[in-house]
Amino acid sequence: MDAHRDANPPGSVSARPVLEAPDIARVLTRIAHEIVERAKGADDVVLLGIPTRGVFLARRLAAKLEEITGGKTPVGSLDITMYRDDLRLRPARALARTEIPGEGVDGRLVILVDDVLFSGRTIRAALDALGDIGRPRAVQLAVLVDRGHRELPIRADYVGKNLPTSLRETVKVQLTEEDGRDSVLLGTRGTAAAEQ
């Protein structure tokens, strides 16, 4: 959904995988263990995925947490479109679903889940969106890939893979639920995608 992150330029034939399906599974298992460790059992954790792919990652993390703790972890989605700071730079975009679990977020540990952490602006918007929904005890951030180039003072609490990139490169996360396969691709921005 964020063209900054997952635009896959038509011209980028050279995209090479940096994470494959087994790597992604392993990484998510590790993050799940880290969550249980840091949250001391993950009793009050609520996972909120940022559409589109963050939602699938949040659901997978919830399944892993259930394997580890035996308890159900509430999982939902948080659309940030209406809170973006670049709304006026592009045509109005379609909204995605915000689904807050029945338990709500008040007094809980909310973990935001996204696929790629880049400028940090998406997460800034997510924090604003979350503030209109309730008051969590704390908010943490889990991402599959941190590609650097932050434009805001934001960092992730759980990182699947740190991927140093140049601004000319693109990072594309593919997940089975959306793209039919699991992988993280690193490509070079083609001239076709120069409109970004």
Partner 1 sequence: MKRHLISAADLTRDDAVLILDTAEEMARVADRPIKKLPTLRGRTVVNLFFEDSTRTRISFEAAAKRLSADVINFSAKGSSVSKGESLKDTALTLEAMGADAVVIRHHASGAPYRLANSGWIDGAVVNAGDGTHEHPTQALLDAFTMRRRLVGRDAGLGRDLSGRRITIVGDVLHSRVARSNVHLLTTLGAEVTLVAPPTLVPVGVESWPCEVSYDLDTVLPKSDAVMMLRVQRERMNAAFFPTEREYARRYGLDGDRMAKMPEHAIVMHPGPMNRGMEITAEVADSDRCTAVEQVANGVSTRMAVLYLLLGGSEPAVTTNNARTEESK
DSSP character for 99?
B
Q: Tokens 């954790």 correspond to what residue?
A: 45
Instruction: Closer to partner 1 by CB, 36 or 48: give it.
Output: 48
Site for partner 1 in 71-90 (CB under 8 A): 79, 82-83, 87-90
Separation CA 40–CA 155 (nearest Å): 21
Helix (H, G, I), strand (E, B) or coil at 149: coil
Site for partner 1 in 132-191 (CB under 8 A): 132-134
List the x/- string, 92-121, binding to partner 1 by CB under 8 A.
xxxxxxx-----------------------
> Which of 91, 102, 153, 180 touches partner 1 (CB under 8 A)?
91
Burial class (CB in 10 A: 0-12, 13-18, 19+), 72: exposed
Q: At its nearest, how many Å lie between partner 1 and the CB of residue 62?
A: 20
Q: At its nearest, how many Å lie between partner 1 and the CB of residue 128?
A: 7
Burial class (CB in 10 A: 0-12, 13-18, 19+), 48: buried
State the CB neighbour count (10 A cutoff) for residue 106. 12
By the rule CB under 8 A, 16 interacts with partner 1: no
Interface residues with partner 1 (CB under 8 A) are 79, 82-83, 87-98, 128, 132-134
